[in-house]
């Protein structure tokens, strides 16, 4: 099948590579010429396990190609995926200019039937706006060309996106067109062999499903962080509470790990956008507002615990383990590390940081500065630092040599924003250990 994908960011690139790997002819359209040239050489611009090998394999085979020419993309594929960014506006709403710009381009150039598929995370009602944009362009050209607009939201976890796409737990398809439904069934057939995972519904329900899923997961995280803070106030251990409630199959163990807040490209943006959408419908989304508020507060905890243990941070150096918002990605969008670093800098302190893959992204965001030192190993981050803070649960951080760390740090202080260690072990090793919802050891 011929597939066109507008946008070669995280979602667009994973989608393109997985479709190409299934034998389809995929053409990616992007407005950034430098990025297109890198992709043509098989250079992956993001870190995602398995993606670079898949990209290079399909570029070599010719099944995956890249262009900056929109008309070429519209002519190429019956399937026209829109996978461009929807960044948050100042009021929290999703910025739809890039989605609608792609829709306009498709309307300007399409000459025969196209299935226009929204893969970007978009507010409820976006498919209607895409439909109207396409119809307006065709009317301006004075032509009649059949088309369908489909909502097909992605459910990819960063760090496991390739596996998620290849073995989806559900494929949401929002359309009222039998022709579009048949086209989507044919497209996803290679990923739908074990049992039928395609769930067809109306477009608006499909759009809301994506936001509702992310908001539900964000709610579980913020709820557990609220319980963690309560546990600390009451002298309880939130990790024991987590095990106790996770055993209930109605709750489960997923997304109930307390920590220093969620980040990334989805949860923060999507919760804000859903709150904004609710406001537009004159609905006061109090629970979602609380989810966001708890997460904002949670991102300040590691800094507060550092101040509690060290006093003023002016002139002090903090060793930081982890920069990405979670393991197996180099994504630092809304990452708790950023809140911590910026708070330390504002207090007059310095950061010595290590992350297995995100150092280049940190340097891109913050540039060269005297109060930020990026190092190659976890131990190097601790060398001469006043305390260690942990904000990303990379596996390499799970079993350190505590005696070695104690000899490197000026003060035997660890502030653990991900509850990686057992407090009694750290206490026995001679550390002051501050975790989330577990008190001080």
Q: Which residues are catalytic?
A: 266
Helix axes of 126-141 and 97-109: crossing angle, nearest 10 degrees: 30
Residue 416 φ/ψ, nearest 5 degrees: -105, 105
Q: Contact, 87 vs 269, CB < 8 A?
A: yes
Q: Contact, 223 vs 287, CB < 8 A?
A: no
Tokens of 143: 């032509």
Q: Which of 81, 51, 21, 39 is nearest to 331 (CA)?
A: 51
CA distances in angstroms from 199 to 16, 150, 163, listed in the order given:
21, 13, 19
CA distances in angstroms from 262 to 9, 39, 56, 338, listed in the order given:
21, 30, 32, 12
Residue 46 φ/ψ, nearest 5 degrees: -130, 155
Q: Contact, 77 vs 27, CB < 8 A?
A: yes
Vertex 150: Cα angle to 149 and 156 (nearest 5): 140
Own/partner long-range contacts of 395-403 (Cβ < 8 Å, ≥24 apart): 395/327, 396/356, 397/321, 397/322, 402/426, 402/429, 402/431, 403/429
| Residue whose entry in the numeric block shows the structure tokens 């190609």 | 65
């Amino acid at each position: 099948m011929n597939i066109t994908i507008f946008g070669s960011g995280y979602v667009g690139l994973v989608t393109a590579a997985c479709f190409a790997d299934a034998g389809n002819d995929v053409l990616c359209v992007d407005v950034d010429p430098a990025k297109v040239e890198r992709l043509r050489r098989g250079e992956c611009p993001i870190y995602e396990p398995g993606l670079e090998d898949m990209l290079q394999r399909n570029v070599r085979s010719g099944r995956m190609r890249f262009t900056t020419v929109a008309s070429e993309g519209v002519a190429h594929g019956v399937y026209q995926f829109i996978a461009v960014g929807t960044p948050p506006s100042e009021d929290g709403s999703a910025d739809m200019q890039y989605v609608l710009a792609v829709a306009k381009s498709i309307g300007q150039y399409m000459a025969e039937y196209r299935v226009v598929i929204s893969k970007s995370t978009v507010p409820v009602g976006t498919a209607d706006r895409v439909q109207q944009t396409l119809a307006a362009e065709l009317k301006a050209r004075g032509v009649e060309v059949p088309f369908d607009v489909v909502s097909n939201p992605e459910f990819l976890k960063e760090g496991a996106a390739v596996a998620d796409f290849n073995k989806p737990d559900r494929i949401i398809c929002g359309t009222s067109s039998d022709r579009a439904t048949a086209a989507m069934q044919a497209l996803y057939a290679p990923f739908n062999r074990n049992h039928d995972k395609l769930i067809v519904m109306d477009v608006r329900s499909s759009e809301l499903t994506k936001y509702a899923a992310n908001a539900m997961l964000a709610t579980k995280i913020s709820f557990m962080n609220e319980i963690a803070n309560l546990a600390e106030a009451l002298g309880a251990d939130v990790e024991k509470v987590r095990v106790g409630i996770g055993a209930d199959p109605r709750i489960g163990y997923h997304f109930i790990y307390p920590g220093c807040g969620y980040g990334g490209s989805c949860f923060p943006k999507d919760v804000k956008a859903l709150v904004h959408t609710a406001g537009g419908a004159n609905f006061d989304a109090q629970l979602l507002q609380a989810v966001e508020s708890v997460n904002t507060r949670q991102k300040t905890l590691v800094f507060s615990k550092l101040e509690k243990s060290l006093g003023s941070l002016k002139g002090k150096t903090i060793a930081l383990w982890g920069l990405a918002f979670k393991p197996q990605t180099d994504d630092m969008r809304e990452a708790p590390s950023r809140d911590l670093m910026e708070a330390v800098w504002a207090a007059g302190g310095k950061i010595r940081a290590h992350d297995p893959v995100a150092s280049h992204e940190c340097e891109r965001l913050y540039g060269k500065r005297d109060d930020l030192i990026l190092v190659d190993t976890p131990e190097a981050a601790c060398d001469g630092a006043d305390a260690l803070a942990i904000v990303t649960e990379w596996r390499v951080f799970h079993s350190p040599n505590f005696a070695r760390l104690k000899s490197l740090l000026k003060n035997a202080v660890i502030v653990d924003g991900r509850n990686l260690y057992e407090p009694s072990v750290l206490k026995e090793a001679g550390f002051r250990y501050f975790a989330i919802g577990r008190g001080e050891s």
